[in-house]
Structure 1
Amino acid sequence: MIKRVLHKIALIAERGFDRVFHRPTSGREIDPYIGYATQQHVIVRGRVLGSLRSYDVADGQSRWGNFRRMLDLFFTNEVADVTVCSDATKAQTDEEGYFTLVLPADEREGWSTEYVHVEGRAEAVPCPVFAPRADARFIVISDIDDTMIETGAYSLLRNLFTTFTGNTKTRHAYTDAISLTTWLSAGGRNPVFYVSSSPWNMHGFLQRVFANTGLIAGPMFLRDLGLSDTQFITEGHGDHKGASIDHILNAYPDLPAILLGDTGQHDAKIYHAAIERHGDRIAAVGLRAPGPGMDAVDLTDLDQLLATKRLAFAAPSFDGFQERLIKARPDLFATPDSTATVR
């Protein structure tokens, strides 16, 4: 009852804000998200906005300048109920401007581009798509904040400060995360997917950070923090992450998965639940223990992970995880390129 009332109040407030600050626009700009291909479909994703935000960073840009740029990412002017298409496949944007085009499967592998037209715009917009290779041995499913990129998500205030005062050139990726995912991907053979509670507004920003730091690119599954008639903003971190993991595993039913996360947001509990649902599909779990490290709850969650008899690695960094993986699952790494050592 309380949640329904808060939902209604928040929805009224958001629509009032939109009437005051969002002016009608004739713009039709596609913010492309990384799509992905399965044996059944090619999934093209994105959002239609009245205008796109810039990720360019001026030399010596101040924290105040970073804050204004980051805040701008969240004050978007969404374009609802317009048609987007790729060849003969069409879709309508929802009330938040999101769209998903489901194309027929083909024989593509690796990175490709789909050109998407949007109603009211003459030029097609390129949207990236990633398709796992036929020789993939496993999937990597990784968190982003405090797993790949230093954020401080274990503390709300630290998380907000880091997020809103940094830019695409100042955000720091862990060198051990870069080395580990580079080795796991094996030159693009094994796909890397990312699940995060960061909002979709951050997708382009995160792509720039990945490109600047050398992190392996891959499709992201982020959260919609917007309001709608049917959705409130209180979808839990665990619910979103668990559902995203399920979706990825169901999309590639023949491949086991290695899960990477951190203890700052209780990923051990989320990944333990994934093991209960998917059993042997989860080959191993690697967890970073950021900031103050693991508390009593984290240690209990880790004990439950260890009780599943899967490899469960937890440490302040991923150093040493590669060796543990090779020893625990030699079947996944019995190829010539897997003998290289992470440096």
Structure 2
Amino acid sequence: MRRLKVAIRHATSFIRRLVHILAKPMKRDYGHGGIVVNPYRGYGSRDRVFLMGRVFRQVGLSRAIPRRGMLRDLADVVRRIARRGQAEATVEVRLGEDSTTVTTDRDGYFHANLPLTTELPEAGGWHHAELHVRAKGEMPVRTTTEVFIPVSETDLLVISDIDDTVMYTGVAHKLGMLYRLFIEKPHQRMAFPGVSSLYQALHRGADDQGARPILYVSRGPWAIYEMLEAFFQLNRIPVGPILFLREWGLSLRHPWPRRAEDHKQAVITRMLALFDDIPCILIGDSGQHDPEVYTRIVEEHPGRISAIYIRRVDDKPDRERAIQALRDQIRHTRCELILAADSLLMAEHAYAQGNISIHGLNAIRRDVKESDGETP
């Protein structure tokens, strides 16, 4: 009986926290409803920047609903399910002296590709873009979002998955993934050993002086953005992060997430186009579709991808053989696919290619050994 009570208490806590997380995006309108803008962090080059986001129309909160507590969270979850992407809203994006105007699609998404004709105050780093949104019958909405522009001397672009690549989520085990995504606090979301030092080494480059862009792609929903941001900060993982999350389609018409592999390939293709001829490293895991998606990208962009690092997250022989077949499939290119059990194997290959320094490699060795309980 005692175990049953404990289980019920844990289940109740799980449900409360899950409901609160699902309701969190609705708090931004303070219950007023109307037009709401969810912008993603942008990225760009010295010539142009790319921004995306979504515009919603959502109902207001009844005055009979308390401003805090479980009832408020449940009401906000209902509002979230009932909200709709605002089609044909105009979104003006301004960065420095340059601007462009785009229109949202039928699901409320907007994609802005903004050419830069005037030089920004800083050569590289974070910049603030202004967004001005207008929709028929609604008051205009203004907001800002961040855009990362690397320095002109950038010699390498790193694009990495997050789930089961940077942090352990257990994507192959759906219930465990939901618990880690929605319930665990950021400091409890365990990063893989050596990840922090590996990504720092890739960010700094072979001379330890660089500031390469590292772009992150996640199959998670927008609702976990704040937790992922805190996780990156706690684990000292660069840069940003710049996160491209997808809308899970939480609505009556689309109750399930859209295909993650389609989302990932489209986003990476846009990144490659934006950064022109800069060589790229792709990092992912063996648990889902990363090897297949990355192999297609290598074939579609010959010469652009210098390496694919795939973290092995299971011991399934069939899956390993399939990945080895993909490696053979791109053997004729300059790209090598590395199936790695840990961050150290990725780092050793990156060092051999001249992409990280010996100091970076030694830091990764030390972190991996310390995680295994050894004395470095």
Superposition TM-score, scaled by structure 1 size: 0.73
| Alpha-carbon distance in structure 2 between the residues aligned to 1:218 and 1:273 | 25
Residue 323 of structure 1: how far off its partner (Å): 2.0
Letter in 1 for 2:298: I
Identity among equivalent positions (%) equals 29
Distance 1:213 1:48, change over 3 A: farther
Match of 2:245 in 1: 222
- Say if 2:265 is the partner of 1:259: no
| Alpha-carbon distance in structure 1 between the residues aligned to 2:170 and 2:289 | 13
- Say if 2:274 is the partner of 1:268: no
- Say if 2:50 is the partner of 1:43: yes
Match of 1:314 in 2: 339
Residue 201 of structure 1: how far off its partner (Å): 3.9
Match of 1:111 in 2: 126
Distance 1:175 1:237, change over 3 A: same
What root-mean-square deviation, in Å, do the aligned CA atoms of Structure 1 and Structure 2 show? Answer: 3.7
Residue 124 of structure 1: how far off its partner (Å): 4.1
The correspondence for 1:166, drawn from 173, 184, 209, is 184
Could you tell me whether the CA contact under 8 Å between 1:289 and 1:315 is conserved in 2? yes
- Say if 2:261 is the partner of 1:238: yes
- Say if 2:111 is the partner of 1:100: yes
Letter in 2 for 1:44: L
Residue 114 of structure 1: how far off its partner (Å): 1.2
Letter in 2 for 1:313: I
Could you tell me whether the CA contact under 8 Å between 1:261 and 1:288 is conserved in 2? yes
Letter in 1 for 2:124: E
Unaligned stretches of 5+ residues in structure 1:
1-23, 52-64
| Alpha-carbon distance in structure 2 between the residues aligned to 1:195 and 1:308 | 23
Structure with bigger gyration radius: 2
- Say if 2:97 is the partner of 1:75: no
The total of aligned residue pairs comes to: 302
Letter in 1 for 2:129: E
Distance 1:73 1:252, change over 3 A: farther
Could you tell me whether the CA contact under 8 Å between 1:138 and 1:258 is conserved in 2? yes
Residue 37 of structure 1: how far off its partner (Å): 1.4
- Say if 2:155 is the partner of 1:137: yes
- Say if 2:227 is the partner of 1:209: no
Could you tell me whether the CA contact under 8 Å between 2:53 and 2:111 is conserved in 1? yes
Match of 1:281 in 2: 304
Match of 1:298 in 2: 320
| Alpha-carbon distance in structure 2 between the residues aligned to 1:74 and 1:277 | 41
Could you tell me whether the CA contact under 8 Å between 1:74 and 1:201 is conserved in 2? no
Q: Per-residue displacement from partner, 1:181-200 (whole Å, max 9, x unpaired)?
A: 11101166211112232234
Match of 1:32 in 2: 39
| Alpha-carbon distance in structure 2 between the residues aligned to 1:269 and 1:79 | 31
Letter in 1 for 2:115: P
Unaligned stretches of 5+ residues in structure 2:
1-30, 59-69, 367-376
Could you tell me whether the CA contact under 8 Å between 1:173 and 1:215 is conserved in 2? no
In structure 2, the residue corresponding to 1:279 is in which secondary structure? coil
- Say if 2:347 is the partner of 1:325: no
Could you tell me whether the CA contact under 8 Å between 2:43 and 2:147 is conserved in 1? yes
Match of 2:221 in 1: 199
In structure 1, the residue corresponding to 2:40 is in which secondary structure? strand
Q: Per-residue displacement from partner, 1:166-216 (whole Å, max 9, x unpaired)?
A: 243432222422211111011662111122322344334422332333222
Could you tell me whether the CA contact under 8 Å between 1:47 and 1:98 is conserved in 2? yes
- Say if 2:111 is the partner of 1:86: no
Letter in 1 for 2:337: A
Residue 289 of structure 1: how far off its partner (Å): 1.4
Q: How does 1:58-73 map to 2 (within 5 A)?
A: none
| Alpha-carbon distance in structure 1 between the residues aligned to 2:78 and 2:250 | 16
| Alpha-carbon distance in structure 1 between the residues aligned to 2:102 and 2:190 | 37
| Alpha-carbon distance in structure 2 between the residues aligned to 1:275 and 1:262 | 16
Letter in 2 for 1:324: H
